[in-house]
Amino acid sequence: MTLSELGWTPPFAEHFEPFREQGLAPGRVARQERQRYLVCGEQGELAAEVAGRLRHEARSRRDLPAVGDWVALDARPAEGTATIHTVLPRQSAFVRKIAGGHTEEQVVAANVDVVFLVSGLDHEFSLRRLERYLTLVWESGAAPVVVLNKADLCPDVEARVREAEAVALGVPILAVSAAGNQGLDALRGHVTSGHTAALLGSSGVGKSTIINRLLGRDVLEVAPVREDDSRGRHTTTHRELIPLPDGGLVIDTPGMRELQLWADGHGLEHAFDDIAELAARCRFRDCAHSGEPGCAVQQALADGTLDVARWHSYLKLQRELRHLERRKDQKARLAEEGKWKKIAQWQRAREKQRRKEGLW
């Protein structure tokens, strides 16, 4: 594939120019498995590793390469290997908080133009989960498309579509059946040559089956889901950038059982812009929407214009973001204290050495 077919654009070329002068080559990360990478570029596919300096200077996981990233690398095509020296600035990045108690971010996919949010029209269907995904996609800079898979298993597809439209305002909603190969032409229309789409969703929603249908052959492993709760096992174990035969690329991702927010609030306001519009009509600018006179939000809840479950979902995500900000501030404060502690220890050690040498 050429660089343009891989998604190379003038902004990337402009950022890369200083590295070209250093004799480095551009490449795009196609696969990541722990600390090993597969990079595609003008030299073909190369097995790559991150340079020690880049790994040492990385302040967090976000500074290290992720699938979809464009990188500057020292390519050794004769050996089939390369060393990644720099990650070029991202045009978009789908980021989540890593699972567990650590306050750290994880880039799931980078430089994505459109994100297919895949949900199963079976027991897995959840509007609240969809709102959470939409918040992160709007934060990423990519455009969301909601894909309601397994339409063949749903007795009332139109009702489900209307429910999704009520929370994914202005977002395309596609009802498809990957197993039956129905409705997938609409997906293909969102992934043209040089553009990248990522598929996100829980295990068992059919992401790998959708990609197999787009490829026209069974490349990715699929597995049946449990009948009682429609849960599936992880058939995708790593992220991978896959070229489509008609142009464009897709990023397959492992199913996410836990999706913790990592955002600054912009994505939340975009995902819930109906609530933001209501809040702008309140009589008081600092309205807390908890009983103040002239509150447009409370009025909408009272007359049924705003769904109570959606309002509670908004408040829950808002609380998560506030908690995240406090955790991030605490982490930054501890890091700063640790830095000055090390400086003080170095100064004391230096003074002790100078006294020992009789210089003081």
Question: The domain spanning residue 50 has which CATH number?
Answer: 2.40.50.140
Q: Could you give the count of Cα atoms lying within 13 Å of 225 in the half-sphere of its Cβ?
A: 21
pLDDT tens, residue by residue, 90-142: 999 888 766 555 556 778 899 999 999 999 998 778 899 999 889 888 888 89
64 belongs to a structural domain? yes
Residues 158 and 239 in one domain: yes
Which of 159, 6, 29, 5 lies closest to 107, judged by CA? 29
Which of 291, 306, 321 is a domain's end point?
306
Residues 242 and 278 in one domain: no
DSSP per position, 67-83: TT-EEEEEEETTTTEEE
257 belongs to a structural domain? no
pLDDT of residue 33: 85
Residues 109 and 214 in one domain: yes
333 belongs to a structural domain? no
Total domains present in the chain: 3
- Rounded CA gap, 101 and 320, in Å? 13
pLDDT of residue 340: 54
328 belongs to a structural domain? no
Residues 203 and 165 in one domain: yes
Residues 201 and 239 in one domain: yes
Residues 224 and 279 in one domain: no
| Percent composition of the chain: helix, strand, coil (DSSP 3-state, to 5) | 35, 20, 40
- Rounded CA gap, 299 and 280, in Å? 13
Query: Encoding tokens for residue 148?
Result: 């309601």
Q: What is the CATH number of the domain that holds 291?
A: 1.10.40.50
pLDDT of residue 47: 96
Which of 33, 56, 87 is a domain's end point?
87
Q: How far is CA 286 from CA 280, 305, 321, in A?
A: 10, 22, 19
- Rounded CA gap, 357 and 351, in Å? 10
330 belongs to a structural domain? no
265 belongs to a structural domain? no
Kindly give the parts of the chain with pLDDT less than 70: 97-104, 219-237, 255-265, 323-346, 354, 357-360
Q: What is the CATH number of the domain that holds 118?
A: 3.40.50.300
Range of the domain at 226: 104-252
| Cβ–Cβ < 8 Å for 318, 269 | no
Q: Could you give the count of Cα atoms lying within 13 Å of 50 in the half-sphere of its Cβ?
A: 21
pLDDT of residue 136: 87
117 belongs to a structural domain? yes
Residues 70 and 131 in one domain: no
Which of 188, 254, 187 lies closest to 223, judged by CA? 254
pLDDT of residue 102: 56
Residues 69 and 194 in one domain: no
pLDDT of residue 87: 96
Which of 287, 306, 325 is a domain's end point?
306
Residues 113 and 248 in one domain: yes
353 belongs to a structural domain? no
Residues 127 and 190 in one domain: yes
pLDDT tens, residue by residue, 145-160: 999 999 999 999 999 9
Residues 39 and 151 in one domain: no
Residues 110 and 83 in one domain: no
